[in-house]
Structure 1
């Protein structure tokens, strides 16, 4: 597969355990989105292992599909956009400024998608992790949209869109406009995210796995299990327990996890 050639759709669909229809419809978009976030985790192992992040389609396919790994927003959403376009969806690639759990003004280092069908449009984002949507969201400003145990809404003012999570007391996740982005924009942002010392992806382990019934959110040694109204947290300090969590619950390959555990141990000793 070259950068210009179609990806192997059958292998991608097997990776996300999807057996449904493939026509470019809202239902297919929603079902693919959910299958993707359920089976491909959000994680930053390659950043911590010093492997670098490549955003060309063959590299993304090899990592997320063939090697059964996860990745962060640029990797996840670039692959998903290519899948959608191969199926006949119209996709616009966008960029957002993350505002979730930060008081600082951050650069636009998040990628998301706008998928358009006839006179309607949806926000698709399989790469936010943690509090990200499990299904696409309709571009219906102000309307609460339920997704299993969570509620989302999009609000818009003067061309600036905001994605929020909550119910009554809304928490903002990110802000974006509808200006289309090029791959070069994402490559620059990804380089910042994967190398800048103030980037959270450089500072420690991040691994998330989403499902309709719960979200597993691992940041460093802190594991949060979000079940909507019930949220629990605990530390995972033992290396063997951490490795088991990453393999069995997050769904990462054992060889990559073993290398990560060794790398984290070496850093701790240093």
Structure 2
């Protein structure tokens, strides 16, 4: 096993044995990744420029201990999975959370997810959402419901949107993202959404941490703590405390 894989596994605090590729191992790797590496868009908002090459993403996320957007995170995770022997396809999707069904498709943010084929069955594996989304692989089977604790998701399929992942809310099922069977395999440059707000999100074993500009929210079980920073120094300290990100 090469040194980069060992660095990656150490960074995501993966403790389990590396067996041959299985869905159980995939779930362990996915959960470890989500609990260790945040979604964040700081390079986009601060206009720092983004590279989608594996060496550059590895340097940013594993060496410099940053997070990334969905493209960076899933591109890097797909590299790890392939190195460990998984069959992986990178797929583009439309990210519908907080968008109405009649929103023009060009206004819906692009998303990247992974399809992992195991024993003839495809599974969605996605480390690029950061907020509430499955932490374990989801079988790509129409009508399948997937529960993780208090969270419930389901897979549907139709002729317009293709495959759809829904999340259950208090009042209804809400579309999280959709993608087509004949979708490209993410080989061309993605269309980055025009984000103006600084965002960071990470899962934790007891909940999740989120940041929107200078407001930090800490969810633990049923409790919520909100922390608003007053200046850049406090913001940088909170960014490091809650997301282990250092911009200095």
Return the TM-score normalized by structure 1.
Answer: 0.80
Match of 1:56 among 53, 57, 75: 53
Q: Which runs of 4+ in 1 moved over 6 A?
A: none
Match of 2:176 among 173, 178, 181: 173
User: Which residues in structure 2 correspond to 1:244-255 (within 5 Å)?
Assistant: 244-253=237-246
SS at match of 1:210: strand
* Paired positions, count: 239
Structure-2 separation of matches of 1:78 and 1:139: 20
Match of 1:234 among 226, 230, 234: 226
What's 2:38 paired with? Answer: 41
Unaligned stretches of 5+ residues in structure 2 = none
Bigger share in helix? 1
Structure-2 separation of matches of 1:181 and 1:9: 27
SS at match of 2:89: strand
Q: Is the 8 A contact 1:149 1:212 kept in 2?
A: no
C-alpha spacing 1:60/1:49, structure 2 compared with 1 (3 Å)? same
1:98 and 2:75 are equivalent in the alignment: no
Return the TM-score normalized by structure 2.
Answer: 0.87
C-alpha spacing 1:100/1:125, structure 2 compared with 1 (3 Å)? same
Q: Is the 8 A contact 1:96 1:112 kept in 2?
A: yes
What's 1:223 paired with? Answer: 216
1:81 to partner: Cα distance: 0.5
Q: Is the 8 A contact 2:208 2:219 kept in 1?
A: yes
What's 1:89 paired with? Answer: 86
User: Which residues in structure 2 correspond to 1:129-144 (within 5 Å)?
Assistant: 129-144=130-145
Unaligned stretches of 5+ residues in structure 1 = 1-5, 194-198, 259-270
1:11 and 2:7 are equivalent in the alignment: yes
Stretch deviating more after TM superposition (237-246 or 85-94): 237-246
